Amino acid sequence: MRPIGVFDSGIGGLTVVKALRDLLPEEEIFYIGDTARLPYGTKSASTVERYSFEIADMLLAENAKIIVVACNTASAIALPLLQEKLSIPVVGVIQPGAAAAASATKNGHVGVIGTRATIESCAYETALRAIDKNLRIIARACPLLVPLIEEGWLRDDVTDRAIARYLAPLVDSGIDTLVLGCTHYPLLRDAFSQFLGSEVNLVDSAQNCARAVTQLLEEKQIATTDTTQTARLTVALTDKPDAFLDIARESLQLELGEVLVRDPAERPRHR
């Protein structure tokens, strides 16, 4: 019963935990949200790498058998080095999301939205073109959406107007598929769908990441063999919880129990 380790810069990665819970209720999960140092999207690449290794060390100290980088920024910047240096499998959210988008598009025109750091990294474009070099890709940073989500404005005119302003150029360009390139964004799925209508496919990187984890557990033969009960979910943050945790708990319908507070500086290195 070694846990699946999951981390994000904050609480948005709980969308990945929810997807993992739905697919793998028998797997123990240990989630760490680096709430003391969010957002990662405005940090330098070297800082994102350092933070990612520090949180990974915390998950290794919890005896994680696999680490899921439930953060698009960390996946874009730190994932290759994590995969190289760590002794256990590491999965990000970008490759599964890109693969799903490439499969979903019918006209070969894909939109990507995310934080500035994720969009500026061109990680989704690189992953998509590695699958199909003929895809047309339009990407746009949407920096206001995460603060609006964390404010709890999931169904609000201000949020709807921000979505319309960000997404209108992508729709006008002719996309038929949109990648939600931030783990916060699935909380706005209804608002996105209302603006986009049924003509544009929404690709949720959280759900596709969970499918990739399921496949990797089977390939590495490290899936739990006890499928008779729902396993434990442990949530730890690097700063005290705020109101967004309640928003995420209610929106995702996750039973979180007591939330731990952990300091990355106090963790030993386990690589």
> Span 42-67, mean pLDDT?
95
Model pLDDT for residues 245-271, shown as the tens digit of each residue:
888 888 899 888 889 999 888 765 655
Orientation of helix 123-131 relative to helix 94-104, angle to 10°? 50
Average pLDDT, the chain: 93
Fold of 94-205: Rossmann fold (3.40.50)
> In the prediction, which pLDDT does 51 show?
96
Q: What is the pTM of this model?
A: 0.91
Identify the pLDDT of residue 150.
85
What residues does each domain of the chain span? 4-92+207-266, 94-205
Question: How confident is the model over 28-39, as pLDDT tens digits?
Answer: 999 999 999 988
Q: Residue 182, class by beta-carbon neighbours within 10 Å (0-12 exposed, 13-18 middle, 19+ buried)?
A: buried
Multiple choice CATH, 4-92+207-266, 3.40.50.1010, 3.40.50.720, 3.40.50.1860, 2.40.30.10: 3.40.50.1860
Angle at 149 between CA 143 and CA 154, to 5 degrees: 125
Query: What was the pLDDT predicted at 112?
Result: 98
Instruction: Give the pLDDT confidence score for residue 79 in this predicted structure.
Output: 96
Would you name the residues annotated as active-site residues? 71, 182
Write the pLDDT tens digit of every residue in 87-114: 999 999 999 999 999 999 999 999 999 9
